[in-house]
Amino acid sequence: MVNYDLRGPDIEIKYHDGDLLIEGDDPLLPANHILREDENLSEAPDGIGSLITTELLASSRNGTRVTLSLILPDVGFTSDEATPEVTGVAIITRQFKDVIGSRPAVLQSYGVRTLTGSASLVAQTAADAP
């Protein structure tokens, strides 16, 4: 398993052992710790890396749903580079399709933040092996 420690404008992401820690200046981001057991976190391999998605807010007072999607690179480790530098992307999506009142013409807005940091390989134990 690969752990990621990433930072970007107003956001810090730690993705360790399938758990996600999010910190940031946006009111929706401070100190969100999302565990994979909570079933609010999904990870899917993608042709461009791994896509990790979680819901930050099911519904605001006006019905806006907010999600966070991360695109993290696949990493091939070599013995001479134990913690390679990586880049990723955080996308905060505001979805307006269930907004109270008149429905807007545009149903999503995106806040995109470029992330940089490092990846590290976590040794797999016998209990973790498939």
Q: Alpha-carbon distance 71 to 13, whole Å?
A: 12
Is the separation of the CB atoms in 26 and 10 below 8 Å?
A: yes
Whole-prediction pTM: 0.83
Q: Element (H or E) spanning 87, and its range? A: strand 85-95
pLDDT tens per residue, range 106-130: 999 999 999 999 999 877 654 555 5
Q: Which residues contact 26 (CB under 8 A, 6 or more apart)?
A: 10, 11, 92, 111
Pair type for strands 65-72 and 19-24: unpaired
pLDDT tens per residue, range 22-73: 888 877 675 677 777 777 888 888 788 999 999 888 888 888 899 999 999 9
Q: Alpha-carbon distance 87 to 115, whole Å?
A: 5
pLDDT for residue 115: 98
